[in-house]
Amino acid sequence: MESLNIFIKSIFIDNMVFAYFFGMCSYIAVSKSVKTANGLGLAVIFVMALTVPLNWLLNEYILKPGALGWISNSLGDIDLSFLSFIIFIAVIASFVQLVEMVVERFAPGLYNQLGIFLPLIAVNCAIMGASLFMQERAYPSLGQATMFGLGSGIGWWLAIIMMAAIRERLEYSQIPAPLRGPGIAFIITGLMGIAFMSFLGIQL
Amino acid sequence: MKALNSKNWQYFLGPLSKDNPVVVQILGICSALAVTAQLKPAFVMAASVVVVTGFANLIMSCLRKGVPSRIRIIVQLVVIAFLVILVDQVLKAYVYDVSKQLSVYVGLIITNCILMGRVEAFALGHKPWPSFVDGIANGVGYGIILLMLGFVRELFGSGSLWGFRVVPEAWYIQNGGFYANNGLMMLPPMALILVGLIIWVHRSSNKDLIEK
């Protein structure tokens, strides 16, 4: 039950884009058409749902204060948490590289669709942010961490395709010249964020 | 070579307004929005980013001939992560309360697009000193926007600046006055709308940046 709550919460209430502004750069840059936005969104879901549990395992058994206790008692008081940034980003970057090679080998069609987006995911702050939040909130089990990763990815995907759909319609509207492009995109995201805040009332 | 000849001076001035990383290049938005509810964390964040961009550009520029392009992303991430760990440890040691407030956003400097963007676009093709200037300038350009946002959000959102009260207590409704804080300013969506407005003003005065 707890896992389901975390899942729903990370999609709607703690939405990566509207509540924490994660992955804004690619969110603004790639939301010009629904098709490409969908491709990037799906890639983000996939990578996030796998890197968060992977980093959870590393955090639990290597990085956390006292985590090395499972090897021998004498290592029990070592605190490696200062290494977590570099380990997390290394896991994410190498995982993205791995996914890229696997997808290229076994699903060339999908690979062509995703194109340049796969390598870009390594520097999408939403992915790194999810891992850091996982560490900060200290989810107690692998299942909950996975649900959090999956839910955050879906929340990000939802945000970017909604934005892309709105921006496709905006092509035909009269916008003050200096606001065209990123300016109006920010203001719309702000308004969508206010709409998403109505989910805050849900008790989970 | 003079330390700041006219070309380097241009590299320095560009990112402050015409080529600003936040409002023109649209880089590094996540942290720009998240840490600006108050002026103090915004300033600490801006200072950290200036240090990291400057030195990341400098180091990558020195390494640019020795790193094969296939593995350059990993090398960049390692260099940047190393710098960010240093900054994080310093913040934890000297300004612990602000470091707690910034929480995960210090770690997210690693994936701040300004860093990768400037290293890819500038440091890999230029000598170390101009790269260092470019890194510092982009950090400062980012900092200016952060401070503007922090100023407006703290002043209207909580009636104080840098933690010091600006709006007198007696003005508030609960003390028999007429004034109330604008709670919306403290919430995430308002930061987005403010950035949109800054872009609007900035592009109105720089006509050549307007999109067709």
Give the model confidence (pLDDT) of A161-194 as tens digits: 999 999 888 888 888 888 887 888 889 988 988 8
Q: Is the separation of the CB atoms in B60 and B134 below 8 Å? A: no
pTM: 0.84
Is A193–B192 a contact, with Cβ atoms under 8 angstroms apart? yes
Instruction: Tell me how close the Cα of A131 comes to any Cα of chain B, in angstroms.
Output: 10
The confidence score (pLDDT) of residue B2 equals 53
Report phi then psi at B179, rounded to 5: -105, 145
> Which residues in chain A have Cβ-Cβ distances shorter than 8 Å to B30?
20-25, 125, 129
Q: Nearest Cβ partner of B85 from A82, A90, A176?
A: A82
Pick among A16, A52, A59, A85 to test the B interface (most B CBs inside 10 A): A85
Instruction: Tell me how close the Cα of B99 comes to any Cα of chain A, in angstroms.
Output: 13
Is A186–B84 a contact, with Cβ atoms under 8 angstroms apart? no
Count chain A–chain B contacts defined by CB atoms under 8 A. Answer: 141
Would you call A172 helix, strand, or coil by DSSP?
coil
- Kindly identify which residue of chain A lies nearest to residue B193, measuring between CA atoms: A187
> Which residues in chain B have Cβ-Cβ distances shorter than 8 Å to A187?
192-193, 196-197
The confidence score (pLDDT) of residue A150 equals 93
Tokens found for residue B176 = 């028999």
The confidence score (pLDDT) of residue A204 equals 65
d(CA A172, CA B28): 29
Is B29–A29 a contact, with Cβ atoms under 8 angstroms apart? no
> Which residues in chain A have Cβ-Cβ distances shorter than 8 Å to B191?
21, 190
What's the whole-number average pLDDT of chain A? 83
Instruction: Please say whether the dihedral angle defined by the alpha carbons of residues A103, A107, A108 and A109, taken in this order, is positive or negative.
Output: negative
Comparison of pLDDT for B129 and A77, the residue scoring more? B129
Assembly ipTM: 0.81
Q: What are the domain boundaries of chain B?
A: 14-206
- Kindly identify which residue of chain B lies nearest to residue A19, measuring between CA atoms: B188
What's the whole-number average pLDDT of chain B? 82
Q: Is the separation of the CB atoms in A153 and A133 below 8 Å? A: no
Per residue in B12-56, pLDDT (tens digit) is 777 777 778 777 777 777 777 778 888 888 888 889 989 999 999
Query: Does the pLDDT at position A114 exceed 70?
Result: no
Is A124–B111 a contact, with Cβ atoms under 8 angstroms apart? yes
> Which residues in chain A have Cβ-Cβ distances shorter than 8 Å to B204?
178
- As beta bridge partners, residue B179 has B172
The confidence score (pLDDT) of residue B156 equals 86
Helix (H) or strand (E) holding B164: strand B164-165
Is A191–B195 a contact, with Cβ atoms under 8 angstroms apart? no
Q: Nearest Cβ partner of A93 from B26, B77, B189?
A: B77
Within 10 Å of residue B205's Cβ, how many Cβ atoms? 9
d(CA B210, CA A141): 50
Q: Nearest Cβ partner of A177 from B73, B196, B210?
A: B210
Q: Nearest Cβ partner of B196 from A22, A119, A186?
A: A186
